[in-house]
Structure 1
Amino acid sequence: MVQPDKYIIGVDFGTLSVRSTVVRVSDGFEKGTASEVYKHGVMDTHLTASKGEVLPPDFALQVPADYLEAFQKSVREAVSNSGVVVRHIIGIGIDFTSSTVLATDDKGIPLCEYPEFTHRPHAYAKLWKHHGGNEQAHRLLKVAQERNESWLPRYGGLLSSELLLPKVLETFEKDREVYDKASFFVNALDWINWLLTGKLVYAGADSGFKRHYQDDKYPDAEYLEAVSPGFGNVYKDKMSGPIQPLGSKAGELTPKMAEWLGINPGISVSVGNIDAHVTAAAIQAVKPGIMTAILGTSACYIVSGPEFKEVPGMLGITYGGIADGLWCFEAGQSAFGDILAWFIKNGVTEEYKKEAEEQGLSLHNYLTKKAAVQEIGQHGLIALDWHNGNRSILCDHNLSGMILGQTLTTRPEDIYRALMESCAFGARKIIETMKVHGVEIKEIVAAGGLLKNKWLMQLLSDVTRIPLSITEATMVGALGSAIYGAVAAGCYETIEEASEAMGSKVPNVYKPHESRSLKYDQLYKEYLILHDYFGTGENQVMSRLKKIKEEAVKDKF
């Protein structure tokens, strides 16, 4: 008798929507997919979930109930679209943007759902790109440097406000009532699994990258107390719980949640993972020396190596961060596609919009077409890709974007191309920093929405001088989560084995062209001069301007 195929549900919680897929365990074939957007999106100017209260600068909040509504709809639709018999679905795996932090009660109910906290910003989910804790991040770093904390090299010697600790410290200092009421502060990927299984289990890889859990321990209470009196026991009081490695089973789906999702109870639920990191398994980039590049609104770069290397400016360095037995190095750019979208929204004339419409092209494709015919350097511009701060290598969210060389003859396509080049130069700076400090990178495998811009992908290969592979998977994050889910369900012994069987990669689609690379080298030298001048302390005008801006609006809050 032929054994029926087995399936795993993979769920990918992104910045604006959740995507679900039903994946065949034997070969990774996606039988059914679905996606749902979050009702309130990102609240970065007003608390639209309440009475529209104005938010301070650098806030990025979300409504946890939006996650659940979209989650339920996408899973049910994906299962329906797949035509798979429900009893053949044996597991579920999820990923989430990180560090997205929730304050909850002891049952996992977010505090923003309490009537007394609906108007309090710090009671809502703080999205990964919430930078309201910039000041707290700088103070955490300063004290860590003074004390020579042993974990600091694991974060490149720097500390980003995108991590969990600055966000929780911000709540502690800005809204003590919310902090005191919270039984737990959890990253969203652990929160979802808590609801699915009824057990709070912290994911080991996410804990290492985003929660400062290194060498089987959190930062010392003495250090945290030195940063802010009364904050020393935050991990003990607000984040206690077991920590499990990737590919392990967090628990089993409860009957209540099974009915809610329309699937069977008791199936395996794998330990959660970071949204970008699951991509490595989906695109067969788990092995050492193969860099995963997730190119979307922002950019995330992860690569594994057999040994720990101290690399400055990393967002995180964690053992077992992608697979057992390997160190994982993570860096990124706080904005990539967001920079191009910003320019499309604010820098294109009506004439260009009309021409693009007449040619049946999106503005992105239209500007790329016009920019692609230029000679390298013809526009006379150089840009810095810091429109949402610098995540790596400088790890400074007070930095801002810049375009140098504009004249009265500068056209929109000139600026658009310069911005694309700046994103590629930022990627090269990250890659070169890793390589200089002993991390091997011999191939880049790209995923994300920007893959559809073939000219941009070739630009990235030319600038970095590294072959660029791509994936043909339609929902890469959800597929990656399904792969980890398959390991947790016992279908494969290792993540590497599951990735080879279920992942998708088309190797070396883009290869560097030496003559173009030489010309980009000249522009890259100019980029580095500006990078160091504005980014490493020679001229801190960007930070001063941001401070002036904050002073100008502080009376509103």
Structure 2
Amino acid sequence: MERFVIGVDVGTGSARAGVFAVADGARKGMATHPIKLWRPQPEFVEQSSGDIWSAVGIAVRGAMAQAKVAPESVVGIGFDATCSLVVLGAGDTPLTVSPSGSAEQNVIVWMDHRAIAETDTINAGSHDVLKYVGGAISPEMEPPKLQWLKTHLPETWEKATKFLDLADFLTYKASGQDVRSLCTNVCKWTYLGHEGRWDNEFLASLGLDDPRITGNPIRPLGERIGPLTAEAAAHFGLTTSCFVAVGIIDAHAGGLGLLGAADLENSIALIGGTSNCHMAASKEPIFVPGVWGPYFGAMVPGYWLTEGGQSAAGALIDFVIEDSSEYRDLAYRAEAASTTVYALLNTEAQELAVAEGLTDVAYLTRNLHVLDFHLGNRSPFADPHARGVVEGLSLDRSLAQDTRLYVATVQALAYGTRAIIEAANAQGFTISQIVATGGGTKNPLWLQQHADACGLPITLGKEPESVLLGSAILAAHASGDYATVTEAMTAMGRAGETILPNPATRAFHDAKYAIWRDLYESQKRHRALMA
């Protein structure tokens, strides 16, 4: 009987599941289901673990229905998720994390920035552990969120029995065993994976030296936890002969799905979505100021992970488009033509460039420049207080002007990726190729502008759903079909199309990249003046 595994990916807006053949990583079926999001106040973003678990069940059953494989042929399941914080009380009941007081809202989403003050306080201390997060902790990590909960919602803090990263919540619900992932705890909780210990002095200084945080077993990603519980098997339409793998963060799963077919130490995996993540592996630890890590064993076993990122990527492009004067008309036209607003804007950009006698759409933004820090900068400046800038606005409300702003925003994100790669290479990396997956890679303008701005080729995975494939790779290790995660990566991952940079636009992008950096330096000077 042919053997299959399931990869589950819980992103910011949806839960997705894919059924993959163990032998070669071929995808047989996929389904997705939306998940709820609450924004009770500015900077607050919340979800429900119950809603997420329900959505995962619907997605898995949908993927199985499309794959048309027997439940007993599915031998493993792997989970990845955003680095959101789940809070449970007695009997695993949800506890509110919300100013609304709703118990259903028991998840602080990764992009929630309510804990800025706690983040600043932590970063003001001379904590040795901070050197493993690029020198500064982020409000997207768990210690500031936990501090915020303890201070602002003391009743929730006292009643809580479990604080879990979302991926660990999913494996707990699936297996009934509270096993935490080395990936989640090293990357988001400050666990020192290379030493196999917590920095208890650091946690005590934050009031977080608590067995609910430090008292759970932490195991390598992809290791077998155990079989699905009977309840979980019924929820998924699977059997209790399906084994659950130790989980992983969503972007890191994308790295696993991409890097199996790449030159591991000379490539960076770009996982594009609501935010962007940039994952690079090295045999020895490399410290890059302003870039998270190095984290031992957090993505590829035996390797150190360095993780850059952009807090607003796909979310920023959507914001710019939806905020434009032409959005309603664009959305109507896209629906009528069964296409996307991105495809319409790409066509508009090409036609505009031709009409103006330009040889490349990049030149449309010669006098329009964007700094993409609308949700702060994650890397390489590690500045959550940074904000977005647009230089070159006029009173023009035409579709042509909206198109220029769209192209300039995509370019700004590409310059952010270039800055991360330059920062990494300055400290000892030799990155000469980008391997990419995620929503942005479905947009040809996004791909070409990133290749041109960075001056590097971009190789796509043959499997476009590389994040799902990454979780399936973990499942194939947990099932016993592959002795190591690395073996599974090599067998199940394949390279696809490569996009080459256009050397004719290099000088243009160099100039715009210099302006991009100058916009940030100007903003820092302005903030200092206003302080």
Q: Do they fold alike, i.e. is TM over 0.5?
A: yes
Tell me which amino acid in the other structure corresponds to 2:278: Y
User: Are 1:521 and 2:510 matched, yes or no?
Assistant: yes
> 1:42 is matched with which residue: 37, 40, 51?
37
User: Are 1:108 and 2:92 matched, yes or no?
Assistant: yes
Question: In the TM superposition, what are the counterparts of 1:382-401 in structure 2 within 5 Å?
Answer: 382-401=369-388
Query: SS at the partner of 1:276?
Result: helix
Distance change in 2, residues 1:268/1:122 (3 Å): closer
Write out per-residue CA displacement over residues 159-215 of structure 1, whole angstroms, 9 at most, x where no aligned residue: 100001111111001011100110121111111111111110110011111110013
Question: In the TM superposition, what are the counterparts of 1:244-263 in structure 2 within 5 Å?
Answer: 244-263=219-238
User: Are 1:402 and 2:389 matched, yes or no?
Assistant: yes
Per mean C-alpha deviation after superposition, the further-off stretch among 89-98 and 471-480 is: 471-480
- Name the structure 1 match of 2:52: 67
Q: CA deviation at 1:254?
A: 1.5
- Structure 2 residue runs of 5 or longer lacking an equivalent are none
Q: Distance in 2 between matches of 1:117 and 1:162?
A: 19
> 1:193 is matched with which residue: 151, 171, 178?
171
User: Are 1:128 and 2:105 matched, yes or no?
Assistant: no
Write out per-residue CA displacement over residues 16-51 of structure 1, whole angstroms, 9 at most, x where no aligned residue: 11111111100111112111111xx2111xxxxxxx
Distance change in 2, residues 1:121/1:132 (3 Å): farther
Question: In the TM superposition, what are the counterparts of 1:347-366 in structure 2 within 5 Å?
Answer: 347-349=324-326, 353=330, 356=333, 362-366=340-344
> 1:11 is matched with which residue: 8, 12, 35?
8
Q: Distance in 1 between matches of 2:340 and 2:23?
A: 38
Q: Distance in 2 between matches of 1:332 and 1:121?
A: 31
Query: SS at the partner of 2:514?
Result: helix
- Name the structure 2 match of 1:89: 74
Please give the root-mean-square deviation of Cα atoms over the aligned residues, in Å. Answer: 2.4
- Name the structure 2 match of 1:47: none
8 Å Cα contact 1:246-1:271 kept in structure 2: yes
Distance change in 2, residues 1:119/1:29 (3 Å): same
8 Å Cα contact 2:198-2:214 kept in structure 1: no
Q: Distance in 1 between matches of 2:432 and 2:457?
A: 8
Distance change in 2, residues 1:532/1:37 (3 Å): same
> 2:254 is matched with which residue: 275, 279, 285?
279
Write out per-residue CA displacement over residues 295-353 of structure 1, whole angstroms, 9 at most, x where no aligned residue: 12211110101111110111332111212221111111011121111121111337963
8 Å Cα contact 2:94-2:103 kept in structure 1: no
Query: SS at the partner of 2:305?
Result: strand
Query: SS at the partner of 1:283?
Result: helix
Query: SS at the partner of 2:65?
Result: helix
Q: Distance in 2 between matches of 1:468 and 1:480?
A: 19
- Name the structure 1 match of 2:22: 25
8 Å Cα contact 2:163-2:212 kept in structure 1: no
Query: SS at the partner of 2:9?
Result: strand
Question: In the TM superposition, what are the counterparts of 1:91-490 in structure 2 within 5 Å?
Answer: 91-98=76-83, 100-112=84-96, 119-120=101-102, 124-143=106-125, 145=126, 149-214=127-192, 215-221=195-201, 223-227=202-206, 231-234=207-210, 236-285=211-260, 287-349=264-326, 353=330, 356=333, 362-372=340-350, 373=353, 374=358, 376-379=362-365, 380-408=367-395, 411-490=401-480
8 Å Cα contact 2:9-2:80 kept in structure 1: yes
Q: Distance in 2 between matches of 1:35 and 1:538?
A: 45
Identity across aligned pairs (percent)? 27
Query: SS at the partner of 1:429?
Result: helix
Per mean C-alpha deviation after superposition, the further-off stretch among 439-448 and 237-246 is: 237-246
Query: SS at the partner of 1:540?
Result: helix
Tell me which amino acid in the other structure corresponds to 1:349: E
Per mean C-alpha deviation after superposition, the further-off stretch among 391-400 and 129-138 is: 391-400
Tell me which amino acid in the other structure corresponds to 1:219: D
Tell me which amino acid in the other structure corresponds to 2:37: V
8 Å Cα contact 1:22-1:30 kept in structure 2: yes
Q: Distance in 2 between matches of 1:351 and 1:166?
A: 39
Write out per-residue CA displacement over residues 224-274 of structure 1, whole angstroms, 9 at most, x where no aligned residue: 4444xxx1423x244411110112112221122212222111421100000
Q: Distance in 2 between matches of 1:359 and 1:80?
A: 29
8 Å Cα contact 2:437-2:465 kept in structure 1: no
Tell me which amino acid in the other structure corresponds to 1:531: Y
Per mean C-alpha deviation after superposition, the further-off stretch among 57-66 and 210-219 is: 210-219
Q: CA deviation at 1:77?
A: 1.9
Question: In the TM superposition, what are the counterparts of 1:469-548 in structure 2 within 5 Å?
Answer: 469-507=459-497, 509-534=498-523, 537-540=524-527
Tell me which amino acid in the other structure corresponds to 2:114: G
The TM-score with structure 2 as length reference comes to 0.91
Q: Distance in 1 between matches of 2:67 and 2:339?
A: 32
Q: Distance in 2 between matches of 1:20 and 1:208?
A: 25
Q: Distance in 2 between matches of 1:29 and 1:240?
A: 39
Query: SS at the partner of 1:23?
Result: strand
Q: Distance in 1 between matches of 2:294 and 2:474?
A: 20
Distance change in 2, residues 1:120/1:351 (3 Å): closer
Write out per-residue CA displacement over residues 127-185 of structure 1, whole angstroms, 9 at most, x where no aligned residue: 11111111111111112x2xxx2221111101100001111111001011100110121
Q: Distance in 1 between matches of 2:115 and 2:332?
A: 43
Query: SS at the partner of 2:501?
Result: coil
Tell me which amino acid in the other structure corresponds to 1:213: Y
Tell me which amino acid in the other structure corresponds to 2:525: E
Query: SS at the partner of 1:216?
Result: coil
Q: Distance in 1 between matches of 2:33 and 2:328?
A: 34
Query: SS at the partner of 2:287?
Result: coil
Q: CA deviation at 1:355?
A: 9.7
Q: Distance in 1 between matches of 2:225 and 2:274?
A: 30
Distance change in 2, residues 1:219/1:345 (3 Å): same
Write out per-residue CA displacement over residues 333-381 of structure 1, whole angstroms, 9 at most, x where no aligned residue: 0111211111211113379639955877533222223334255444301
Q: CA deviation at 1:60?
A: 0.5
8 Å Cα contact 2:245-2:475 kept in structure 1: yes
Query: SS at the partner of 2:376?
Result: coil
Q: CA deviation at 1:280?
A: 1.8
Report how many residues are paired: 514
Q: Distance in 1 between matches of 2:369 and 2:99?
A: 46
8 Å Cα contact 1:101-1:187 kept in structure 2: yes
Query: SS at the partner of 1:151?
Result: helix
